[in-house]
């Protein structure tokens, strides 16, 4: 079985960081950017000069500045779901930070409904399921983050599935964002949290204290036996993004995913950002196969085991289970 044919589930993928390069070139030209095609690509993708998450996050400046209209948000989302479908992704949760798309006067309703519209259009055309996760940002004000949670409630199960906390983890400690998840709990909104990437054990510990069942990355749990034990015992799903982890230097040397998997940690393999990281999900899976002892069956199992953690209905979860069970017995 070729890795491209494996039915995939994506739990951790950023919209702006996965903008289609041809669309970005088109938008940059429309906006009068004085950049060659090569320079645009350089603005969108990390290179050897990236040594930490802060360097990595610089690559979001151009896509964010381009994605400031309803049409572009819709088209970019549509293109991403289409691309994922072509990679045999059967279900994807795409995340983005609505607050970053208001530079040219869009209101939050317009931002969020444009993304939902692009997704729904793709879902109607292609055999792919999924939804949107709204990111609160570490560099946003408390008021803005609480506003995002309220908008997540407004669009919950109408395209939006959950809330996330993203941004510079090394600069803004996770423990300071309890207020986001308190409100999520009050409003019955599911959530995931970026933690254990640029910051270590204390960040993971705060995220777990906030009651999350999923961690964006979480890989730095290997630095502490107690926190690792907690992740295993509390059955936390780690949304792992190997290529991105090497680029941000959250991981140096061998990636801990095989160690985590063989010690019973639930993991889901993702790219984080197709464009910023210059990778796609098929190549990410291929890298895992080439650099670890995991097999295609293990990757299928990772997808299967992540289903209960998806922010979707039982009906869709059953459907995904059936698709993957069929595949396992091919």
Q: Which is nearer to Zn ion, 199 or 272 (CB)?
A: 272
Angle at CA of residue 99, ends 70 and 50, nearest 5°: 100
In the complex, the smallest distance separating the C-beta of residue 73 from Zn ion, rounded to whole angstroms, is 19
Q: Which is nearer to Zn ion, 272 or 284 (CB)?
A: 272
Q: Measure the CA–CA gap between 15 and 212, rounded to whole angstroms.
A: 22
In the complex, the smallest distance separating the C-beta of residue 307 from Zn ion, rounded to whole angstroms, is 21
As a dihedral over the C-alpha atoms of residue 30, residue 85, residue 266, residue 135, rounded to 10 degrees, the angle is: 30
In the complex, the smallest distance separating the C-beta of residue 214 from Zn ion, rounded to whole angstroms, is 12
Binding residues among 271-330 for Zn ion as defined by CB under 5 A: 272
Q: Which of these segments, 25-33, 108-116, 155-163, 265-273, binds Zn ion (CB under 5 A)?
A: 265-273
Q: Measure the CA–CA gap between 67 and 230, rounded to whole angstroms.
A: 39
In the complex, the smallest distance separating the C-beta of residue 226 from Zn ion, rounded to whole angstroms, is 25
Q: Which of these segments, 68-76, 77-85, 264-272, 305-313, binds Zn ion (CB under 5 A)?
A: 264-272
| Sheet containing 89-96: order of strands | 8-14, 89-96, 129-137, 160-166
Q: Measure the CA–CA gap between 233 and 227, rounded to whole angstroms.
A: 10
Please give the structure tokens belonging to residue 31: 């906006």
Binding residues among 167-226 for Zn ion as defined by CB under 5 A: none
Q: Which is nearer to Zn ion, 288 or 300 (CB)?
A: 288
Q: Which is nearer to Zn ion, 113 or 210 (CB)?
A: 210
Catalytic residue chosen out of the listed positions 197, 239, 284, 327:
197
Can 197 be counted among the known catalytic residues? Answer: yes
Please give the structure tokens belonging to residue 30: 């429309």
Q: Measure the CA–CA gap between 294 and 260, rounded to whole angstroms.
A: 12
Catalytic residue annotation = 197
Where on the chain is the footprint of Zn ion (CB under 5 A)? 272
């Amino acid at each position: 079985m070729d890795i491209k044919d494996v039915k995939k589930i994506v739990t951790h993928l950023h919209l702006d960081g996965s903008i289609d390069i041809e669309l970005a070139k088109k938008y940059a030209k429309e906006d009068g950017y004085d950049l060659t095609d090569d320079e645009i690509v350089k603005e969108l993708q990390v290179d050897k000069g990236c040594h930490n998450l802060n360097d990595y996050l610089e690559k979001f400046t151009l896509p964010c500045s381009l994605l400031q209209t309803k049409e572009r948000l819709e088209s970019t989302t549509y293109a991403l779901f289409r691309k994922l479908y072509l990679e045999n992704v059967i279900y994807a949760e795409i995340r983005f930070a609505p607050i970053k798309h208001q530079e040219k006067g869009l209101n939050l309703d317009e931002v969020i409904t444009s993304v939902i519209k692009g997704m729904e259009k793709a879902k109607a055309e292609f055999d792919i399921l999924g939804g949107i996760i709204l990111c609160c940002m570490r560099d946003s004000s408390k008021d803005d983050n609480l506003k995002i949670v309220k908008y997540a409630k407004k669009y919950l199960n109408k395209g939006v599935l959950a809330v996330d906390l993203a941004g510079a983890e090394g600069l803004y400690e996770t423990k300071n964002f309890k207020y986001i998840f308190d409100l999520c709990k009050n409003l019955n909104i599911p959530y995931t949290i970026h933690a254990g990437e640029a910051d270590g054990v204390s960040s993971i510990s705060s995220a777990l204290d906030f009651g999350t069942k999923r961690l964006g990355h979480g890989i730095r749990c290997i630095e502490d036996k107690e926190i690792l034990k907690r992740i295993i015992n509390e059955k936390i799903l780690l949304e792992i993004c190997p290529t991105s982890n090497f680029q941000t230097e959250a991981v140096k040397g061998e990636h801990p995913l095989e160690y985590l998997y063989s010690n019973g940690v639930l993991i889901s393999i993702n790219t984080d950002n197709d464009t910023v990281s210059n990778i796609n999900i098929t190549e990410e899976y291929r890298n895992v196969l080439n650099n670890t002892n995991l097999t295609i069956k293990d990757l299928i199992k990772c997808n299967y085991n992540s289903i209960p953690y998806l922010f979707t209905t039982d009906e869709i979860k059953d459907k995904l289970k059936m698709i993957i069970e069929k595949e396992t017995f091919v």
